[in-house]
Structure 1
Amino acid sequence: MALHKRISFFFLLLLIVSSNWLIYRLDIVSSHPPEMIWGSLFDFMLVIPLLTYFYFIHKRYSLTYIFPVMAAGYFVARFVIIPNDYVHTITSLGYIVIGAEVLFIVVEFYIAYKILRTIPTIVSAYRVYYARVPLFSYALKKALKDSLPPNKLIDVFTTEINMFYHAFLSWKKRPIKRDDAYTYHQKTSGIAIYIMLIHAVLIETIGIHYFLHQFSSTLSYILLALNVYTVFFFIGHIQAIRHNPILLNKDELILTYGLTSHMTIPYDLIEGIALYANKELPDKQRLKTAFDGRIADFIDEPPHMEIGLKEPVRAHYLYGMKKEVSTVFLRVDDPQLFLSTLKNRIHRN
């Protein structure tokens, strides 16, 4: 997305949020009629989700991604923007609020029930896939795909499991070392960048939480929870980068880049592969239909190689987001050996 579009979106978002927050706290209106409260809910549950859809979602993702934005807008309006005293003055709104909260809890319990009921099947499938490919992320996604029907919320749940496993349960495991495993982070500053981000978030958490708590304790605790989640995410992402190298499996190329992206490419769908000769970075237009196999670095380096595909292959991203790609750009720690081995695998197939 162009920079001016991002700026305009965040300007509109700031305008909507600040105007709604101030109108309840600066006595701009001497009384707060029901229409004002309905207007705030309209802004957060319809206007902001529609802006998000037209600015970010509609050209890349399914319309269903607007519903989490609506849910987030509802909770921000209900617990941060509109004071409780005003919410409960409208009987019908109170019923809607209670109904929405109950519905959300019911959906959460239903998903948990569906997963718990199929845990033996999931565990059995996971063991089969893990014995074949010893990557937690790969085996988990395959097992859940085989055991549960397609569902956006399942995709979100999968991301959360993957994050908490790598953040808390992967420390005793050693990164796999096999002849067909190739690391992509050891010759970059990627992990150092994420460690710096963790420090920055922790410092920001202390300062902003103290500052916001003077104005809105609810908002300060929400931001505190989000910052804690962000720290866990970065820790999990670092561990996932370490424990999930690129694998040249028997029949397919398995790419897993931390928690953020992954895809599997059968060798018979690879049309060509070559070293990336251009010293310039891939342009944004090409990256729209490409899988970018480069992790964050202090200096943005061009990829080592470019893989062309015979037909588009689906790449998977956070929380079930997907993209059809026709090109794959890769950086690996040993590009010459990787390229030679990959060409041999393609030739055999």
Structure 2
Amino acid sequence: MTAFLPRLNRNIISILIIALIIFFGGLAILNAAPLRIRDKVANGFLADLVITFPVLYYFIIVRPLKVSAKSLLLIFSFCCGLAYVVLPQQQRDYILQIRKLSVLAELFVIGYAVTQFKKLRAAYNQDRAEFADPIYNLRHAMVSVLGSSVAIKLMASELAIIRYGLLFWRKEKDCACDIKTFTTHKTCGYVAIWSVLFAVVLIEMVAVHLLLIHWNNIAAIVVTSISAYGMIVFVADLSAMLKRKILIGDNFIVLRTGLRWQVVTTLNNIDSLQKITNDYQPSDVPYLKGGAIKTSGNLLITFKEPVKVDKLYGASKIFSTILMNVDEVESFITHIS
């Protein structure tokens, strides 16, 4: 597993860099090409988008990471749509012809998705009856029905981002009366820090958009769209931080910091609780840096048996110690004790 994670990150970063090079490099060459050869350049750009990139995606993502081959069809459809937006009319006619050839495959995928949706809904309702956490239940249901591939986990993570980023005004369902809750964002001043960073990122996004729009309208739209998605992730992080609290029941505890990570274990598995007043001096034992501000925390939790930490992105990891922020930490320690 530890060897798989660096390879996962390396492959994803590689395909993202290739995508940026093909798109922005192709746009730059197309805009700089003389009018007499622009049609040939546009054909080459089209081939890179709908053939070269999907082939590279297959060899860099699908085969090494064992991602479902169905994702290749989604990538191909996205590349065709992107090419239709940025290329001249003659190439758009080619794209329409290409799309006719892929209709049957897309209909098959849609039919498969409809049949799996019923199973997914049943699995979600079953999990919800046992544990009222929509994000945890959705991810568990998707993995149990669709498989534990990287693509499925990423899809579940993106749905969580949409839930808290675009629907940030929706309230969480109230917990049962016997559930004690604790927040994790107040003592570290996370809301104030987030507000400053949000303002800086927003100003930078507008400035970059105004700069790029003088060079190429399509490039400005693409970069602004990517930045806007980053803002949605940013909003989702704060929204989840405010709503997803620590839960303590009769014999279980749910530790989490927003959407970033979550641990579900029993109260009997907690070995010790140590309040941290200054910077924590780590020992040689690996521990989870789970605070709202990653490098800080006011509570060190040690477990008798290692616990599985489910993260929003990436594979689950095993830890015996967690450093995190907990508001009203004395009350928390007293309640657990």
Q: Deviations over 1:149-199 (max 9, x none)?
A: 436565455444434443436545588697632221111132233333433
Letter matched to residue 180 of structure 1: K
Superposition pairs of residues 1-349 of structure 1, within 5 angstroms: 17-27=23-33, 30=37, 32=40, 37-39=46-48, 41=50, 44-47=53-56, 62-64=65-67, 75=78, 79=82, 83-85=87-89, 87-88=91-92, 95-99=97-101, 103=105, 107=109, 110-111=112-113, 114-115=116-117, 119=121, 121=122, 124-125=125-126, 128-129=129-130, 135-141=133-139, 148-150=145-147, 152=149, 155-166=153-164, 167-168=166-167, 170-172=169-171, 180-267=180-267, 270=269, 272-275=271-274, 279=279, 290-296=287-293, 300-302=295-297, 304-308=299-303, 310-311=305-306, 313-318=308-313, 321-331=314-324, 332-342=326-336, 344=337
Displacement of 1:204 in angstroms is 3.8
SS in 2 for 1:181: strand
The residue identity in structure 2 corresponding to 1:150 is: G
Q: In 2, are the aligned partners of 1:175 and 1:244 still within 8 Å (CA)?
A: no
| Contact 1:246/1:253, CA 8 A, preserved across alignment | yes
Q: Please report how far the alpha carbon of residue 97 of structure 1 lies from its aligned counterpart in structure 2 after TM superposition.
A: 4.9
> How far does residue 217 in structure 1 lie from its aligned partner after superposition?
3.6
Letter in 1 for 2:129: V
CA-atom RMSD in angstroms: 4.8
SS in 2 for 1:333: coil
For residues 103 and 281 of structure 2, what CA distance do their matches in structure 1 show? 47
Consecutive unaligned residues of structure 2, counting only runs of 5 or more, are 1-5
Q: Normalising to structure 2: TM-score of the pair?
A: 0.67
Q: Distance in 1 between matches of 2:20 and 2:141?
A: 42
Counterpart residue type for residue 330 of structure 1: L
Whole-angstrom distance in 2 between the partners of 1:246 and 1:217: 46
**How far off its partner does 1:240 sit?**
1.5
Give the CA deviation at 1:210. Answer: 4.0
Q: Which has the higher contact order (CA 8 A, sep 6+)?
A: 1
CA distance change for structure 1 residues 71 and 236 in 2, over 3 Å: closer, same or farther? same
- Partner amino acid, structure 2, of 1:187: T
TM-score (normalizing by structure 1): 0.65
Call closer, same or farther: CA 1:39–1:301 in 2, change over 3 Å. Answer: same
Amino acid at match of 2:25: S
Partner amino acid for 1:162? Answer: A
Task: Give the SS at the match of 1:259.
Answer: coil
Corresponding residue SS for 1:114: helix
Shift of 1:140: 4.7
Does the Cα contact within 8 Å between 1:16 and 1:43 map onto a contact in 2?
no
Superimposed CA distance per residue, residues 51-103 of structure 1 (whole angstroms, 9 cap, x where no aligned partner): 7x6xxxx7xxx44299869955874586269624564576xx76545555775
Please state whether the residue corresponding to 1:32 is helix, strand or coil: helix
The separation in 2 between residues aligned to 1:89 and 1:249, in whole angstroms, is 61
Q: Judging changes above 3 Å, is the alpha-carbon distance between structure 1 residues 48 and 232 closer, same or farther for their aligned structure 2 residues?
A: same
Percentage of matched positions with identical amino acids: 13
Structure 2 CA distance, aligned partners of 1:266 and 1:96? 55
Structure 1 Cα separation of the partners of residues 107 and 231 of structure 2? 26
Inter-CA distance 47–310: structure 2 relative to 1 (3 Å threshold): same
Q: What is the total number of aligned residue pairs between the two structures?
A: 317
8 Å CA contact retained: 1:181, 1:246: yes
- 2:3: which partner in 1? none
The question of whether the paired residues in 1 share the 8 Å contact of 2:306 and 2:320 is answered with no
CA distance in 2, matches of 1:192, 1:156: 29
User: 1:216: Cα distance to partner?
Assistant: 3.9
